[in-house]
Amino acid sequence: MQAREIHDAGGVDSAYAWLRLGLSMLLATIGGAGMWSVIVVLPAVEREFGVDRADASLPYTATMVGFALGNLLIGRFVDRFGVTGPLAIASLALGSGFLLASQAGSIWVFTALQGALIGFGSAATFGPLLADVSHWFDKRRGLAMAATASGNYLAGAIWPLVLQAAMAEHGWRGAYVLAGTVCLAVLVPLAFLLRRPPPHMARKGAPVPKAPPPPKRSTSLSPGMLQFLLIIAGLGCCVAMSMPQVHIVAYCVDLGYGVARGAEMLSLMLAGGIVSRLASGVLADRIGGLPTLLIGAVLQCLALLLYIPYDGLASLYLVSLIFGLSQGGIVSSYAIVVREYLPAREAGRRVGAVITATIVGMAIGGWMSGWIYDLTASYQAAFLNGIAWNLLNIAMIVLILLKSGRPRGTAVTA
Alpha carbon of residue 174 to chain centroid: 26
Q: pLDDT tens-digit profile of 158-204?
A: 898 899 899 999 999 999 999 999 999 999 999 999 999 887 665 44
- pLDDT, tens digit (0-9, with 9 covering 90-100), for 237-284: 999 998 888 888 888 888 888 888 887 888 788 788 889 999 999 999
Sign of CA dihedral 68, 73, 76, 77: negative
The C-alpha atoms of residue 161 and residue 353 are separated, in whole angstroms, by: 31
Contacts of 148 (CB under 8 A, 6+ apart): 21, 24, 25, 28, 129, 130, 133, 332
Q: Which residue has the higher pLDDT, 219 or 23?
A: 23
Please tell me the predicted confidence (pLDDT) of residue 204: 43
Domains of the chain in start order, with CATH, are 2-197+212-404 (1.20.1250.20)
Per-residue pLDDT reduced to its tens digit, 198-222: 876 654 444 444 555 566 677 888 8
Helix axes 53-81, 33-49, angle to 10 degrees: 160
Confidence of residue 406 (pLDDT cuts 50, 70, 90): low
Indicate the pTM of the whole model. 0.80
What is the percent of the chain where pLDDT is above 90?
Answer: 51
134 vs 339: CA distance, rounded Å: 8
DSSP string, 80-142: HH-SHHHHHHHHHHHHHHHHHHTT--SHHHHHHHIIIIIIHHHHTTSHHHHHHHHTT-STTHH
Alpha helices in 193-312 (DSSP H): 223-254, 259-287, 289-307
pLDDT band at 52 (very low <50, low <70, confident <90, very high): confident
- Would you state the pLDDT for residue 243? 86
**Distance of alpha carbon 185 from alpha carbon 263, whole angstroms:** 25
- Indicate left, alpha or beta for 288 from its phi (over 0: left) and psi (-120 to 50: alpha): left
CA neighbor of 390 nearest in space, from 323, 340, 343, 341: 323
Non-local (6+) Cβ contacts of 158 within 8 A are 29, 267
